[in-house]
Amino acid sequence: MRVLVVDDDPLTLHMVVYRLRQWGHDVISANDGTAAWEFIEASPSPNVAIMDWMMPGISGLELCQRIRARAGVPYLYIILLTGRNHPEDLIAGLDAGADDYLTKPFHLGELDARLRAGKRIVDLQNELISTRETLRIQAMQDPLTQILNHGAILDALLREVDRAHRQRQPVSVILGDLDAFKAVNDTYGHIVGDQILIEVAERMRSCLRSYDSIGRYGGEEFLMVLPNSDAEQALSLAERIRLAVCNMPFHYKNIELSVTLSQGVTTWTEPYPFPLERLIQTADGALYLVKNAGRNGVEYAHFDVGEDEAVVPIGRPNPLLRMP
């Protein structure tokens, strides 16, 4: 573990640091609370802090309170060293945020045992953080393709439009739909269909920039969010994605087949705020045009919110009537 030792007594500081290093810990030391705080704020931060109560500048008690006031940082296990042995003093130390304490003079074997107990707490805390992050990612991911799910890609679009408004930049969206994909599932089965969806998502993702977002919008529909991209850039990218999907056959066991992709594109620049679903409806209107022109293409629709908040893309029909 990475352990911070803080004590203004040079003898105690040297003794504890020496033993901790013998026990295999990565040790950093400070002789006052101010220097200790700098170590705590630095990266990598310690896992455990062993600190004296009485120190010049920031006391051990004040340091505990500062540490516990932080938010969004890994948990720091605190062992407080003190010459005070009155119950009210120990209660005050624990209430300030210390996890454990040792009364001076202390036996080094007891310090080792308390460090092992602290390590168990630190390990559990790290496991909890890791599990929470895994659950957070799972809540955002489509379980099949491992790209963003429907809700998460809409959240990403909302964030990017808000950022684009503040930075006065455009943001484009691409709504893509695999052509006649139901026939693939009906002919080859859903296992093959699922493998194609996984590979399509990977091919799409490989065409995007690191700060673009892609999500599974529906069964075989994909929504891409392109920050700081105008219409020309978005159309160029959409065509590159289309070619990446349709130019190379898909293979699963002894099956080889090709699929094509239709995509609708639109770009937001103003107004703000506006009904977010209108932006997607505009891209969907462009997608309709591709489907009804024979599929396997890219079309752009101009995003425009009038006084009645109706979006009027080029040739906007009812997207519910578009071909699969």
* Contact of 43 with 65, CB cutoff 8 Å: no
Question: Domain range spanning residue 214?
Answer: 150-321
Whether 184 maps to a domain, the answer reads yes
Q: Please, what is the angle between helix 10-22 and helix 108-140, to 10°?
A: 60
pLDDT > 70 in the chain, percent:
94
Q: Both 162 and 243 in a single domain?
A: yes
CATH number for the domain including 204? 3.30.70.270
List, for residues 49-96, the tens digit of each pLDDT value: 999 998 888 899 999 999 999 988 889 999 999 888 788 988 999 999
Count up the domains in the chain and report the number: 2
The answer to pTM > 0.75 is no
pLDDT in tens, 287-316: 999 999 999 999 999 987 654 443 333 333
Q: What's the DSSP call for residue 320?
A: G
| Alpha-carbon span 54 to 56, nearest angstrom | 7
Q: Which two tokens stand for residue 139?
A: 């809540």
Query: Does one domain contain both 274 and 157?
Result: yes
List the catalytic residues.
220
